[in-house]
Amino acid sequence: MGMSVTISEAGGQDAEKILKLQYLCYQGEAELYGDYSIEPLTQSLDSIKAELATASVLVARLGDEVVASVRGTVGPDGTARIDKLIVHPRMQRHGLGGRLLDAIEQRLGAGGTATCFQLSSGHRSEQNLQLYRKHGYAAVKTQHVTERLTLVTLSKEATAAAYAARV
């Protein structure tokens, strides 16, 4: 019998697992843009521990293994910022990224605190952009970061996310 994937709030004991998974997952992004100095590959364990204390951090587990994670915060203006949605390469293309995205939207939107959701992706990260568009996000801004990277910021209203979660 196979195990099912469960999604829950991350705890301090997950910091190192998240860091290792993040390092694995961002190798492809670094290769795609020819830049191995991107923040997810240089982030420290202490920095992730600090995020666990200040942000909503969810993990997906297969048994005891952390196979996916996402982070989010809600700013004073009601904008919920979603960051570092990562899924282990062997678990990709099975809907887990979408499940985590829905879960973090529900968490950040609980009680009406978030008025909109926002996230960013590199312009060449077509799988990521496709996932976000499928979940109702639309590009609202592009920012030329380097010769190789343009950052695409996508957004959607929180009310649309709440409705989609109920359907």
Give me the pLDDT at residue 80, please: 96
Give me the pLDDT at residue 112, please: 75
| Number of domains forming the structure of the chain | 1
Give me the pLDDT at residue 141, please: 96
Q: What is the pLDDT of residues 102-161, one digit of tens each?
A: 999 999 998 778 999 999 999 999 999 999 999 999 999 999 988 888 999 999 998 754
Distance CA 135, CA 1 (A): 31
Beta strands 138-144; 79-87: pairing state = unpaired
pLDDT band at 167 (very low <50, low <70, confident <90, very high): very low
Give me the pLDDT at residue 160, please: 53
Q: CATH number of the domain that 46 lies in? A: 3.40.630.30
Q: What is the pLDDT of residues 49-62, one digit of tens each?
A: 999 999 999 999 99
Q: What is the pLDDT of residues 23-34, one digit of tens each?
A: 999 999 999 999
Q: Is the pLDDT of residue 164 over 60?
A: no
Query: Where in the sequence is the domain holding 160, given as residue range(s)?
Result: 5-166
Q: What is the pLDDT of residues 72-83, one digit of tens each?
A: 999 999 999 999
Average pLDDT over residues 38-66: 95
